[in-house]
Amino acid sequence: MPANPIKDPAFFSLLLKIDRATADELRQKGCPECGGPLHWANYARSPRGLPTGCGTEHSTRLSLCCGREGCRKRLTPPSVRFLGQKVYVGAAVVLYSAMCHGITLTRIDQLHHLFGVGRQTLVSWRKWWLNDFVSSRFWKWGKGRLSSPPDTTNMPVSLLERFAGTLSERIVQLLRFLAPMTGTPAPSSHAF
Ligand SMILES: [Zn+2]
């Protein structure tokens, strides 16, 4: 696998496989409201940050809809590929934000030239990790699942360090950790 996993289509195939398995597991459980059958109701996204060689299946957000008349509840399963409404794929938000740690404007410029991610985008991701993310309901719940609390001034580097393995493996584990915040409706016991 290349040094930068998110330039590798195989890395995204792995993430797609994880999303499909998660969504299919939910589908088989049936509608949480009425017990009716869940059908695929996928929709198109236009994510940025995908490497060349990724087909249209990588731009599809997996989604489910109850088939029972009068219910028709829509469920969007947790995803390791789409981080909420962010335009870039989740892996890019994680990896490039981590590379931004301790950044200076020069470093932001270098990243911008290397990966083509806009300066404003990099700055907004950094704000999101350091402010929005650490004050989110998800984080209040999620941090309890980690072996020890990471340094919240150093996100998402400190989060990546909570997981073991190669860089690719750690990104996958971090995306799995974040996935519950990407699904709707969130499990009722921890609605974010
Ligand atoms: Zn239903």
Residue range 106-146, pLDDT digits in tens: 777 777 777 788 888 988 998 999 999 999 999 999 999 99
- Identify whether 11 is part of a domain: yes
CB 83 within 8 A of CB 97: no
pLDDT of residue 147: 86
* pLDDT for position 63: 97
47 upstream amide cis, omega within 30 of 0: no
Q: How confident is the model at residue 184 (pLDDT cuts 50, 70, 90)?
A: confident
Average pLDDT over residues 162-186: 91
Reference 101, options 180, 173, 161, 168; nearest CA is 161
* Cα 81 to middle of ligand 1, angstroms: 26
Higher pLDDT, 40 or 191: 40
Percent of the chain with pLDDT over 90: 73
Residue 154 Cα to ligand 1 midpoint, Å, equals: 42
* Residue 127 neighbours by CB under 8 Å, 6+ apart: none
54-81 pLDDT, tens digit each: 999 999 999 999 999 999 999 999 999 9
Interval between CA 135 and ligand 1 midpoint (Å): 33
Q: How many domains does the chain have?
A: 1
Report which secondary-structure segment, H or E, holds 65. strand 64-66
In a domain, 61, yes or no: yes
192 in a structural domain: no
Q: What is the pLDDT of residue 159?
A: 93
Q: Is the pLDDT of residue 1 over 50?
A: no
Distance from the alpha carbon of residue 72 to the mean position of ligand 1, in angstroms: 6
Nearest Cα residue to 23 out of 74, 72, 67: 74
Cα-to-centroid distance, 161 and ligand 1 (Å): 40
Whether residue 70 lies inside any domain: the answer is yes
Q: What is the pLDDT of residues 13-55, one digit of tens each?
A: 999 999 999 999 999 999 999 999 999 999 999 999 999 999 9
The answer to whether residue 171 sits within a structural domain is yes
**What one-character DSSP code corresponds to residue 130?**
I
pLDDT > 90? residue 174: yes
Does 36 map to a domain?
yes
Which range of residues forms the domain containing residue 166? 5-186
Distance 89 CA to ligand 1 centre (A): 30
Residue 191 has pLDDT above 60, yes or no: no
Cα 66 to averaged position of ligand 1 atoms, centre (Å): 5
Residue 91 is assigned to a structural domain of this protein = yes
Does the residue 191 lie in any domain?
no
